Structure 1
Amino acid sequence: MEVPTSRFGVIEVAEDRVITFPKGLLGFPDCTRYCLLEPGEDACFFWLQSLDRKDLAFVVTDPSFFVRDYTVPIRQDQAESIGIGKLEDAQVFVIVNKVDDQLTGNLQGPLVIDTIGRRGEQLVLADKRWTTREPLVRVTTGSKVASA
């Protein structure tokens, strides 16, 4: 299907690439269909583009790229709601924001996706170790030349 977007123009999305979030994402309950856009094979940041609103897209990442001890506890009822049969079929992403020169991730509100059924849910963790703006990486604006 062809999907108009404000950032990428019209994109082609195969039906089997659509990820459904039946409850929507926090703040966007009516936007339930998304696709994951991968900018390259070795990318660690992706776009989660809404198929319901052309102007809605989030930068997301797998938090394991940046945070070593991060885990998402999933209760049985949550796994059933998402459609996860086996935990190894689940993929976790977090929404990324840029705050000053820092990229942060919402580790308190991870996105859990069943990679087989392509259903997901944004969870809200009770674990207060993590924040909605957990530092992931600093952004620099370029190299500087120093005289010797």
Structure 2
Amino acid sequence: MLINTKCFGEIDLEENKIIHFADGLMGFEDYKKFTILYDIEDEKKSAISWLQCIEEPGLALPVINPLHVREDYNPTIEDELLKPLGDVTSENIVVLLVVTVPNDVKKTTANLKAPIIINSDTRQGCQIIVENQDYSVRYCIFEENREKKGERTC
């Protein structure tokens, strides 16, 4: 199937690459179908990929594996919230964080508080609020900025 994207142009996408979000994403509840696109340069995959909406070409969210941001990332999630995804295991779970990239790239942040959870077997996804009180919505990715401020956010 051909999909249009604002940043990547027209892409031929296989049906098995579509991820369904029954409740949409926070702030984008009307959009249910997404895929993950990778911006590959010089045969190297970037740490940041794109959660591209199938229904709206202009909607693409930069996302990152949380372990690239914080090696000790271990969100507390109620099992009940994951039930709509099917049987989630350590082998089929994909966790992504939404990234915000401002004009000053060194102030890039990741949302540790509301990760995107995907079951790669069922291709069902959701975005949830984790229970961890110490996880910020705007966690600074660049360590030197956290150290300067003596905190975890930009």
Fold conserved between structures, TM > 0.5? yes
User: Paired residue for 1:120?
Assistant: 125
User: Paired residue for 2:37?
Assistant: 37
Structure in which a larger fraction of residues adopt helix: 2
Mark the runs of 5 or more structure 2 residues left unpaired by the alignment.
144-154
> Does 2:140 align with 1:135?
yes
User: Paired residue for 2:149?
Assistant: none
User: Paired residue for 1:111?
Assistant: 116
CA 1:87/1:77 → structure 2, altered by over 3 Å: closer, same or farther? farther
Using the alignment, how far apart are the partners of 1:87 and 1:15 within structure 2? 24
Using the alignment, how far apart are the partners of 1:77 and 1:111 within structure 2? 15
Aligned length: 139
Name the aligned partner's letter for residue 5 of structure 2: T
Offset at residue 82 of structure 1 (A)? 1.5
Q: Provide the secondary structure at the position in 1 that maps to 2:97.
A: strand
Q: Provide the secondary structure at the position in 2 that maps to 1:46.
A: strand
Write the mapping of 1:1-148 to structure 2, written as runs, cut at 5 A: 1-40=1-40, 41-99=44-102, 100=104, 101-137=106-142
Under a length normalisation based on structure 2, what TM-score does the superposition of the two structures give?
Answer: 0.83
Q: Deviations over 1:103-134 (max 9, x none)?
A: 11011010000011111100112322111110
Under a length normalisation based on structure 1, what TM-score does the superposition of the two structures give?
Answer: 0.86
Q: Provide the secondary structure at the position in 2 that maps to 1:80.
A: helix
Larger radius of gyration between Structure 1 and Structure 2: 1
Q: Which 4+ runs in 1 deviate beyond 4 A?
A: none
Q: Provide the secondary structure at the position in 2 that maps to 1:43.
A: strand
Mark the runs of 5 or more structure 1 residues left unpaired by the alignment.
139-148
